[in-house]
């Protein structure tokens, strides 16, 4: 039995903690908030988990909400070339495996309780960076799974993979009841309207404490009309602002959201983040190290919905690495090797997300997206790549391979 501490109680930290506890290890999680404080607080994210990440939860018996959560059965991505004018081009396709979104307040609060029920230990308090040396000395392994606060800064920025110094989008996320579904198959799809040079608006079916809901997400280019959330402090005001924007920019979405109401008093999250990749290992005392995981070391913008998926994959990779280590020490070399095993996946999600954030996209990608709007097979391939962006490396991210793919599509259409 190894003594392991995890600072942070989100998707990655708790999934790993529950997996380690199931394997018989002594686990302590340090959480800044109690389960009830989490339930009563504001929303934490726009989490969307695709099939491969959901499978990792199911392997650990953590899929407690499958029956209640509305399945996200596909994606519809529309380009809006002029405000208020319905899109002429959309990429729409079903996912091979439905995705799901469970309010992180619901999930992490219950998982914290579940960890204690299964014999894990939870300390409810904030952890300062200067405490990490003591934690590392008292445990065989200490992991940092909190990436949005000062603890993430104990890991130095990796300039090789961090092209941004400022946020690429202003973010506003609102949970609502009462939004009407889109017609046809898109009723169960995530919908994105992309406004070139302005930003994006997304609608995502989800589950919150009060039942099925929709998540409305704004991604505004800095300084543009969607960067308008400063001083919007409550869900009612955010909904009013949302309807104002939709009336002008996407009236077809306004009609679906006109009767919506916020799910609860904490249904709003606004802000911005700087996408960053940090070095995975920090020396907190001479010869004493801690290992970062998920958002603490690889923080992506939510525009491609990869955060929870990255976290689940990270927790799984780290769990397998701990179990394979046996009684040997969790030294610095092991930490780097463990991170490298996860980075082999996360580097692809980072590259894909950054490409979507940057404008304009590479010319060959624009060609692919234009063709995907016309050819269902290509739309299916693109949409299903969101579940595992590593697959894009084989065709989308490389100009020559993308053009070869387009030639095949054109040849089939001509035949």
Q: In this structure, are 289 and 327 located in the same domain?
A: yes
Q: Are residues 79 and 197 in the same domain?
A: yes
Give yes or no for residue 408 having a pLDDT over 90.
no
Number of domains in the chain: 3
Tell me, yes or no, whether 251 lies in a domain. Answer: yes
Domain shared by 256 and 183, yes or no? yes
139 and 251 fall within a common domain: no
* Percentage above 90 pLDDT, the chain: 94
3-state helix, strand, coil in the chain (%, to 5): 45, 25, 35
pLDDT of residue 277: 97
240 falls within a domain = yes
Give the mean model confidence (pLDDT) for residues 48-53: 97
Is the preceding omega at residue 360 within 30 degrees of 0, hence cis? Answer: yes
On whether the CB atoms of residues 318 and 330 are closer than 8 A, the answer is: no
321 and 393 together in one domain? no
* Residues 378 and 289 placed together within one structural domain of the fold: no
What is the model's pTM? 0.96
User: What's the rounded mean pLDDT across residues 137-152?
Assistant: 88
Determine the pLDDT at residue 148.
67
Domain boundary among 232, 249, 272: 272
- The CATH number of residue 214's host domain is 3.30.9.40
The answer to whether 207 and 102 have CB atoms below 8 angstroms apart is: yes
pLDDT band of 150, cuts 50, 70, 90: confident
Shared domain check, 9 and 135: yes
- Taking only the tens place, the pLDDT of each residue in 377-390 is 999 999 999 999 99
pLDDT in tens, 275-302: 999 999 999 999 999 999 999 999 999 9
Give a yes or no: residue 67 inside a domain: no
Please answer whether residues 216 and 203 qualify as being in contact, where contact means their C-beta atoms are separated by less than 8 angstroms: yes
Residue 279 and residue 268 share a domain: no
Selected residue with higher pLDDT from 147 and 44 = 44
* E runs forming strands in 196-273: 199-208, 211-220, 261-262, 268-272
Whether 57 and 150 share a structural domain: yes
- Among 214, 247, 272, residue at a domain's last position: 272
Q: CATH no. for residue 142?
A: 3.50.50.60
Domain carrying residue 90: 72-99+168-272
Residue pLDDT, tens place only, 308-345: 999 999 999 999 999 999 999 999 999 999 999 999 99
The verdict on residue 407 lying in a domain is: yes
Tell me the pLDDT of the chain averaged across its residues.
96
Structure tokens at 131: 């405490």
pLDDT band at 185 (very low <50, low <70, confident <90, very high): confident
Boundary-marking domain end, from 239, 272, 305: 272
Torsion 4-8-12-14 (CA) sign: positive
- Give domain status of residue 213, yes or no: yes
333 and 191 within one domain: no
How many other CB atoms sit within 10 Å of the CB of residue 136?
A: 21
At 259, the pLDDT band (50, 70, 90 cuts) reads: very high
pLDDT tens-digit profile of 152-167? 789 999 999 999 999 9
The pLDDT assigned to 1 comes to 86
Q: What percent of the chain has pLDDT over 70?
A: 99
Q: Same domain, yes or no, for 46 and 112?
A: yes
Residue 414 has pLDDT above 70, yes or no: no
pLDDT at 415: 59
Q: Is residue 44 part of a domain?
A: yes
Please indicate, yes or no, whether residues 299 and 206 belong to a single structural domain of this protein: no
């Amino acid at each position: 039995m190894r003594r392991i501490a995890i600072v942070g109680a989100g998707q990655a930290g708790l999934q790993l903690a529950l997996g380690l506890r199931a394997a018989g290890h002594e686990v302590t999680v340090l959480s800044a908030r109690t389960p009830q404080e989490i339930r009563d607080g504001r929303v934490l994210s726009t989490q969307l988990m695709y099939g491969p990440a959901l499978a990792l939860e199911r392997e650990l018996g953590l899929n407690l909400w499958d029956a209640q959560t509305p399945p996200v059965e596909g994606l519809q991505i529309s380009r809006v070339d002029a405000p208020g004018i319905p899109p002429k081009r959309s990429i729409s396709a079903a996912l091979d495996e439905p995705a799901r979104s469970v309010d992180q307040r619901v999930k992490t609060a219950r998982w914290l309780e579940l960890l204690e029920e299964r014999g894990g230990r939870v300390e409810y308090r904030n952890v300062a960076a200067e405490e990490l040396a003591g934690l590392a000395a008292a445990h065989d392994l200490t992991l940092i799974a909190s990436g949005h606060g000062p603890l993430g800064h104990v890991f130095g920025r990796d300039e090789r993979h961090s092209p941004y110094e400022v946020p690429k989008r202003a973010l506003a996320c609102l949970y609502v009841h009462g939004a009407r579904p889109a017609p046809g198959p898109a009723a169960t799809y995530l919908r994105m309207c992309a406004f070139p040079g302005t930003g994006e608006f997304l609608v995502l079916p989800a589950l919150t404490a009060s039942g099925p809901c929709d998540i409305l997400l704004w991604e505004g280019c800095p300084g543009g009309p969607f960067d308008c959330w400063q001083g919007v402090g409550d869900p009612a005001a955010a909904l009013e602002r949302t309807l104002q924007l939709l009336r002008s920019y996407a009236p077809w979405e306004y009609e679906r959201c006109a009767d919506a109401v916020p799910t609860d008093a904490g249904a709003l999250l606004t802000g911005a983040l700087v996408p960053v990749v940090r070095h995975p290992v920090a020396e907190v005392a001479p010869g004493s190290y801690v290992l970062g995981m998920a958002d603490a070391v690889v923080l992506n913008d939510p525009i491609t919905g990869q955060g929870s998926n990255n976290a689940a994959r990270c927790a799984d990779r780290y769990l397998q690495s701990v179990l394979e280590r046996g009684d040997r020490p969790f030294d610095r070399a092991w930490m780097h090797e463990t991170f490298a095993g996860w980075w082999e996946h996360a580097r692809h999600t980072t590259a894909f997300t950054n490409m979507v954030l940057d404008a304009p996209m590479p010319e060959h990608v624009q060609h692919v997206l234009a063709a995907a709007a016309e050819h269902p097979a290509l739309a299916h391939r693109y949409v299903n790549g969101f579940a595992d962006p590593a697959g894009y490396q084989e065709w989308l991210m490389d100009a020559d391979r993308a053009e070869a793919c387009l030639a095949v599509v054109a040849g089939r259409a001509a035949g």
